[in-house]
């Protein structure tokens, strides 16, 4: 096969404060052939994005390509002028960024943005380009390809937008496609949809591609060859089969260990005999018939009749795709969003819906930790002040006591205390998330609401944060409400699981009875969507009929019937779409809301 891109002895340097340059990519050497997908894998800071950008002849501000050759055909693109590089970009090389929502201009139609590049490069007239765009939409399996282009970016779902960005990249028929973490920001179910589309279109177009990610399980599905990077150097290089099947380098092994195993779905003997007392004591937090929504005059209901109990010292995992109301639930409990109706109580005492009416003591006992460490910490406050404020606010500690306590808090989250005078911008993502957690711990709460705390971190860092949460929970006897779209993370340490779909609880109960085996069709979908570290998993998933029906629809909030009706493989028309599903309790403490009876559900589960 013909080599589309050859990178030879590439060195990239970055500028430190004070004009010193340090190498951030060291002597990287690889080739991408036609129709081949080469994956660059490593954690953040390993230089994978820098290398992929260098393949386009681009270095980010503060960086420079210092040595090496980047050959596209027989041209060294580093020797081209800026004008020639511009002619190359978009036309023969194309880039797909991580966040499609940020890459599309909300004020222009999709068609205009997808066809911009061929028109700009003078390859096609707008009309031709639009016709070709429709062809690409069809190949990417997007709904209504003929009229899709007339929509604006906010009118399509996140997964569709991500596929549209691939369409944008393919509009000029490039020789080389660079995909930078295209599925990292997505739900597991949406990830399948986008991965399938990307894989299929690369096969059809026979383009070469560089795929950048930190997720080995994803790479195993799509890559032909893998480069494992650490600290800007190639640690291991081989075919996907070699790397995944027989990793030899210790760093590759470390990455593989961080991939969470798919939770067991068969009941082992010891599990079934585990005492499942739906804790006789009073729950720490009780949420009853909670309905909440947004909008001032006409509320759009996002949560409907949600009942959840959090016993003291336990972990309740809340799972569901984006748009299911998980974060809304956390916000309502924290008092940030007064509900429309429903009751909440903390250790038996009613919790006022409005934050202003809650006592300091009540506020102190429930703390919230947000998803994005970058926006959860004020960039203009030093770590010392961020951690010191809750101590001053809740406990009224004097400054010397505060100082000591802040040191202890940093120790608890395994950070060094020389971070204290720094600003959040100087910390890595994992460090920020630890500070974020330490701020919640500072209040000495009984319950921490963790809203997708690991979703924006890469696998290794995320795994370390989960371990930390686990240890802290045991040490301090905390209760967590752990919100995530990733069932494998939740299953690794939750005691009970609440499955939310379109604002309603569809199933909840102790971890083992919910997932081993999974009863509700939606729980089953979530379980089967967790990527497995074996080549060929993606094909297996999409060939099952269940996944196909489920993946072709997005989350929709309905007023009547079962919300999951449209995506459910077991749906019964005439019943499921018209009546609210009844409650079924196979064992005490385990609730399933489904029209199918337990026997049917169990039969379906055993077929998994």
Partner 1 sequence: MNEPGVTTRNEPRPNRADDEFDTEPLAITGPRRLELGTSAWVGIGILLLWLFVAFFGPALSPYDQGEMISYDSFSPMGETLLLGGDFIGRDVFSRLLFGARMTMGLALIATVLAFLGGIILGFTAAAAGEWVDQILSRINDAIMAFPSIMLALIVIASLGTSTSVLILTVCLIEATPVFRLARALGMDISVMDYVEVARARGESVWWIIRREIFPNTLAPLAAEFGLRYTYSILFISALSFLGLGVQPPQADWGAMVRENLMGLTYGSLAPLIPAAAIGSLTISINLIVDAFLALSNRDISEEMI
Q: Choose which of 5, 7, 10, 14 interacts with partner 1 (CB under 8 A).
A: 14
* Stretch touching partner 1 by CB under 8 A, among 54-62, 547-555, 566-574, 585-593: 54-62
CA-nearest of 469, 472, 479 to 448 is 479
Q: Is 381 in the site for partner 1 (CB under 8 A)?
A: yes
Cis preceding-peptide flag for 517 (omega within 30 of 0): yes
Closest approach of Cβ 359 to partner 1, in Å? 9
Q: Is 448 in the site for partner 1 (CB under 8 A)?
A: no
Residue with smaller CB distance to partner 1, 162 or 327: 327
Count the residues in the chain: 608
Tell me how far apart the alpha carbons of residues 32 and 559 are, in angstroms, rounded to a whole number. Answer: 51
Binding-residue pattern over the window 415 to 434 for partner 1, x denoting contact by CB under 8 A:
xx-xx-xxx-xx-x------
Structure-token pair, residue 461:
């860092």
Residue with smaller CB distance to partner 1, 73 or 250: 250
Closest approach of Cβ 329 to partner 1, in Å? 14
Q: Is 338 in the site for partner 1 (CB under 8 A)?
A: no
What end-to-end distance do the CA atoms of the chain give, in Å? 40
Residue with smaller CB distance to partner 1, 43 or 215: 43
Residue with smaller CB distance to partner 1, 426 or 600: 426
The answer to whether residues 370 and 449 touch, using CB atoms and an 8 Å cutoff, is: no
Structure-token pair, residue 33:
């052939």
* Stretch touching partner 1 by CB under 8 A, among 132-140, 371-379, 399-407, 554-562: 371-379
Q: Is 368 in the site for partner 1 (CB under 8 A)?
A: yes
Q: Choose which of 17, 122, 281, 348 interacts with partner 1 (CB under 8 A).
A: 17
CA-nearest of 480, 446, 445 to 466 is 480
Residue with smaller CB distance to partner 1, 300 or 380: 380
Q: How many helices (H) and strands (E) does the chain have?
A: 25, 22
Residue with smaller CB distance to partner 1, 358 or 567: 358
Sequential DSSP letters for 376-404: HS-TTS-HHHHHHHHIIIII---HHHHHH
Q: Is 372 in the site for partner 1 (CB under 8 A)?
A: yes
Closest approach of Cβ 459 to partner 1, in Å? 13
Q: Is 298 in the site for partner 1 (CB under 8 A)?
A: no
Beta bridge partners of 590: none
Q: How many CB atoms lie within 10 A of CB 433?
A: 29
Strands 447-451 and 479-484: parallel
Closest approach of Cβ 287 to partner 1, in Å? 16
Structure-token pair, residue 215:
């997720």
* Stretch touching partner 1 by CB under 8 A, among 61-69, 85-93, 154-162, 569-577: 61-69
Cβ-proximal residues to 59 (8 Å cutoff; 6+ apart), any chain: 12, 50, 53, 65
Kind plus residue range of the DSSP H or E element containing 272: helix 269-272
Residues of this chain that interact with partner 1 (CB under 8 A) are 14-19, 22, 24, 43-46, 60-63, 230-231, 250-251, 254, 331, 334-336, 355, 358, 360, 363, 367-368, 370-372, 375-381, 389-390, 393-394, 414-416, 418-419, 421-423, 425-426, 428, 439, 443
């Amino acid at each position: 096969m013909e080599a589309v891109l050859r990178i030879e002895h590439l060195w990239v340097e970055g500028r430190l404060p004070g004009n010193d340059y340090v190498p951030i990519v060291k002597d990287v050497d690889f080739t991408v052939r036609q129709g081949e997908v080469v994956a660059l894998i490593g954690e953040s800071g390993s230089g994978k994005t820098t290398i992929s950008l260098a393949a386009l002849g681009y270095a980010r501000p503060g960086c420079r390509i210092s040595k090496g050759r980047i050959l596209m055909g027989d041209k060294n693109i580093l020797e081209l002028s800026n004008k020639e590089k511009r002619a190359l970009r978009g036309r023969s090389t194309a880039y797909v960024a991580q966040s499609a929502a940020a890459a599309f201009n909300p004020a222009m139609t999709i068609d205009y943005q997808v066809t911009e590049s061929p028109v700009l490069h003078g390859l096609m007239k707008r009309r031709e380009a639009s016709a070709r765009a429709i062809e690409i939409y069809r190949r990417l399996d997007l709904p209504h390809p003929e009229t899709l282009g007339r929509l604006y970016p906010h009118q399509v779902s996140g997964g569709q937008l991500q596929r549209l960005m691939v369409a944008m990249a393919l509009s000029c028929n490039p020789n080389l496609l660079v995909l930078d973490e295209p599925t990292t920001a997505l739900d597991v179910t949406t990830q399948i949809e986008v991965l399938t589309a990307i894989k299929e279109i690369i096969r059809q177009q026979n383009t070469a591609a560089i795929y950048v990610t930190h997720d080995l399980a994803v790479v195993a599905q799509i890559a032909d060859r893998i480069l494992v990077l650490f600290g800007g150097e190639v640690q291991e290089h081989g075919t996907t089969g070699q790397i995944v099947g027989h990793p030899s380098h210790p760093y590759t092994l470390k990455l593989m260990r961080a991939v969470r195993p798919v939770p067991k779905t068969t009941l082992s003997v010891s599990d079934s005999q585990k005492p499942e007392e739906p804790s006789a004591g009073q729950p720490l937090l009780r949420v009853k018939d909670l309905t909440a929504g947004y909008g001032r005059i006409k509320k759009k209901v996002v949560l409907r009749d949600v009942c959840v109990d959090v016993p003291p010292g336990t972990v309740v995992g809340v799972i569901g795709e984006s748009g299911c109301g998980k974060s809304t639930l956390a916000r309502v409990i924290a008092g940030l969003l007064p509900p429309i109706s429903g009751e909440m109580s903390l250790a038996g005492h009613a919790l006022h819906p409005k934050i202003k009416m809650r006592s300091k003591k009540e506020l102190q006992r429930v703390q919230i930790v947000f998803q994005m460490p970058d926006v959860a910490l004020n960039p203009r406050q030093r770590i010392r002040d961020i951690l010191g404020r809750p101590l001053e606010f809740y406990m009224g500690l004097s400054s010397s006591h505060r100082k000591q306590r802040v040191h202890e808090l940093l120790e608890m989250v395994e950070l060094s205390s020389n971070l204290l005078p720094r600003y959040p911008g100087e910390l890595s993502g994992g460090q920020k998330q630890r500070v974020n957690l330490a701020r919640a711990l500072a209040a000495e709460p009984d319950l921490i609401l963790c809203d997708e705390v690991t979703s924006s971190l890469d696998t290794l860092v995320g795994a370390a944060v989960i371990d930390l949460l686990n240890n802290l929970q045991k040490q301090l006897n905390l209760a967590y409400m752990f919100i995530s779209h990733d069932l494998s993370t939740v299953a690794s340490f939750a005691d009970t699981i609440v499955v939310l779909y379109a604002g309603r609880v569809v199933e909840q109960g102790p971890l083992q009875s919910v997932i081993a085996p999974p009863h509700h069709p939606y729980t089953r979908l979530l379980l089967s969507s967790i990527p497995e570290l074996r080549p060929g998993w993606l094909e297996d998933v999409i060939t099952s009929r269940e996944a196909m029906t489920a993946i072709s629809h997005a989350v929709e909030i309905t007023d009547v019937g079962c919300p999951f009706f449209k995506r459910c493989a077991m749906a019964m028309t005439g019943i499921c779409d018209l009546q609210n599903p009844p409650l079924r309790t196979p064992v005490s403490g385990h609730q399933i809301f489904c029209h199918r009876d337990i026997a049917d559900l169990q039969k379906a589960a055993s077929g998994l």
